[in-house]
Amino acid sequence: MDQTTLTAQFASTFHQQPARLVHAPGRVNLIGEHTDYNGGFVFPAAINFGTWIAASTRDDRQIDAVAVDFDNQRNQFSLDAIEFDEQQGWANYVRGVIKMLQHDFPQIGGANLMITGNVPQGAGLSSSASFEIAVLKAFSDLYDLNLDGVKAALLGQKAENDFVGCSCGIMDQLISAMGEEGQGMLLDCESLTFEHSNLPDDLDIVIINSNVKRGLVDSEYNLRRQQCEEAAAAMQVKSLRHADLPLLEACRDNMSDPVYRRARHIITENQRTVDTFRSLREGDIAAVSKAMAESHASMRDDFEITVKPIDYLVEIVSQVVGNKGGVRMTGGGFGGCVVALVPKNLVSEVTNTVNKFYHSETGLKQTIYVCSAEKGAFS
C-alpha cells in the first residue's frame, strides 16, 4: 500500500487527515550471528521493506489501532488499562510499546493509528522490530517527545521481551531506528555504540528465503544460549565477548565438545564481523567474501544451525559471485534466509541460477528480495 492510499484509508476510517505519517525499516544482518546475546558485534543494514503508520492524536486516553494487513482488524484500549490481548496477536506489539513508553513519558495521550507494512513475515527480516519502532516514532512525532533512536530501540526491545514474551537482543530495534542509507552498522551489543560503513554502490543486498519450515528454532535457540553461558562460565568470563581463542583452548577440558564448538563460533564470528566492517571501509570485497564464507561454515559446523537447503543456496550463489561478493545464512537458523552481497551485473545470474536449481534439488520454492540499505526511523 502506498502512502497516498494509506492516508486516504485513514481519513475514511477516522474522519480526519493523519497528523503524521511515519516509516521504520526492517533489517538484514550481513554478518555476526548469535553474537548479540553474547555481548558481541553484529553488522546489520536497514532495508527498503518496512512498516508505515498514519497517526493522529485524540482528545481522550484511548488508542484505536487498525492493522491494514490483517483485514483491517481494529484494536481499541485505554492508556489506563493496557493488558495482553489473547485474540489479536499483532496488537500486543502496539500495546507493549505504548506501555513501556508510558513509563518514561507519562504525558502521552490517545492516538488513532493505521498500520501497514511489507516486511515479509517469517523471513527473519524483523517485521516485529520495524513495527515497534514505527509505533515509537509515531508517538514521538505526535507528542514531540525527547526520544532518541537508542532509547527507542531499548523501549522496543523491552516491549518484546517483557510484554510480548520474546527474548530478542537489541540489534533489530537499533538498526531499524538508526540505520543509514547506503550503509551497514557495526553495533557493539555490549556498549550499544555503533559506527557505519558505506556499502559499495555496485553491490546489491540479495535476500533469498529458503521457505524451509522451521520447527526447532525456539528450543535450539534456547539451548545455544545455555551452551554459550556454560562456555563463558567455564572460562570465568562475563560473556563470550571477553573470551579469545587461547583462553578457549586453555579451558577446553572443562567443557563438552559441543559447548567448546559453540564458543569457538562466537569468538571467531566476533572477529569476522569487525574484520568485515574494516574490509568494507577499505574496499576489500575479496576479504568480505572470505569472511562471509567462513561465517557460514562456522554456523554449519561449530554452531550447527544450518540445514541442507540453506547450505545448497549458499553453495550455488557462491559459485556465481565468487570473491566479487559474499553469501551466508542469516538469522536464527534451521531455515530462514541467506543474505548475499552481489555485484549489480550478477543479480540476474544469481536469480536465474537459484530459480533453475533450487526447487529441483530441494523440492522447495524460494522467494528472492533485492534490497538496498535505507535510513532508520530516528536517523
| Per-residue pLDDT tens digits for 235-270 | 999 999 999 999 999 999 999 999 999 999 999 999
Asked whether residue 94 is domain-assigned, the answer is yes
- If you write DSSP's letter for every residue of 228-245 in order, what string do you get? HHHHHHHHT-SSGGG--H
- Taking residues 190-209, what's their average pLDDT? 95
Q: What is the pLDDT of residue 115?
A: 97
67 in Cβ contact with 109 (< 8 Å): no
52 in Cβ contact with 116 (< 8 Å): yes
- pLDDT at residue 125 above 80? no
Q: What is the pLDDT of residue 126?
A: 74
Angle, CA of 158, 159 and 163, to the nearest 5°: 115
Residue 174's CB is within 10 A of a number of other CB atoms, namely 31
| Residue 138 pLDDT level (bands cut at 50, 70, 90) | very high
- pLDDT at residue 217 above 70? no
Asked whether residue 306 is domain-assigned, the answer is no
Asked whether residue 8 is domain-assigned, the answer is yes
Among 346, 23, 24, smallest CA distance to 203 is for 346
Q: Which residues contact 347 (CB under 8 A, 6 or more apart)?
A: 204, 206, 370
The alpha-carbon radius of gyration of the chain (Å, integer) is 21
Count how many domains the chain has.
Answer: 1
Asked whether residue 84 is domain-assigned, the answer is yes
Q: What is the pLDDT of residue 139?
A: 98
Q: What is the pLDDT of residue 1?
A: 79
**Partner residues linked to 113 by β-bridges:** 55, 65
CATH of the domain at 25: 3.30.230.10
| Residue 70 pLDDT level (bands cut at 50, 70, 90) | very high
Question: Residue 119: which domain range?
Answer: 3-198
| Residue 156 pLDDT level (bands cut at 50, 70, 90) | very high
The strand ranges marked E within the chain are 20-31, 41-57, 62-67, 73-78, 111-117, 183-188, 194-198, 203-209, 326-330, 337-343, 367-371
Phi, psi of 140 (to 5 degrees): -60, -45
Q: What is the pLDDT of residue 167?
A: 75
Among residues 2, 69, 141, 172, the one annotated as catalytic is: 172
Residue type, 283: G
Distance (Å, whole) CA 101 – CA 104: 6
| Residue 84 pLDDT level (bands cut at 50, 70, 90) | very high
Asked whether residue 92 is domain-assigned, the answer is yes
- pLDDT at residue 216 above 60? no
Distance (Å, whole) CA 123 – CA 313: 15
Asked whether residue 36 is domain-assigned, the answer is yes
State pLDDT tens for residues 227-236: 999 999 999 9
Asked whether residue 297 is domain-assigned, the answer is no
Annotated catalytic residue 172: yes
Residue type, 203: L
Asked whether residue 223 is domain-assigned, the answer is no
Q: Which residues contact 270 (CB under 8 A, 6 or more apart)?
A: 32, 35, 38, 40, 41, 240, 241
Q: What is the pLDDT of residue 259?
A: 98
State pLDDT tens for residues 309-318: 999 999 999 9
Q: Give percent of the chain above pLDDT 70.
A: 98
Q: What is the pLDDT of residue 122?
A: 65
Distance (Å, whole) CA 139 – CA 297: 43
Q: What is the pLDDT of residue 234?
A: 98
330 in Cβ contact with 336 (< 8 Å): yes
Q: What is the pLDDT of residue 166?
A: 82
State pLDDT tens for residues 5-39: 999 999 999 999 999 999 999 999 999 999 999 99
Q: Give percent of the chain above pLDDT 90.
A: 90
Q: What is the pLDDT of residue 367?
A: 94
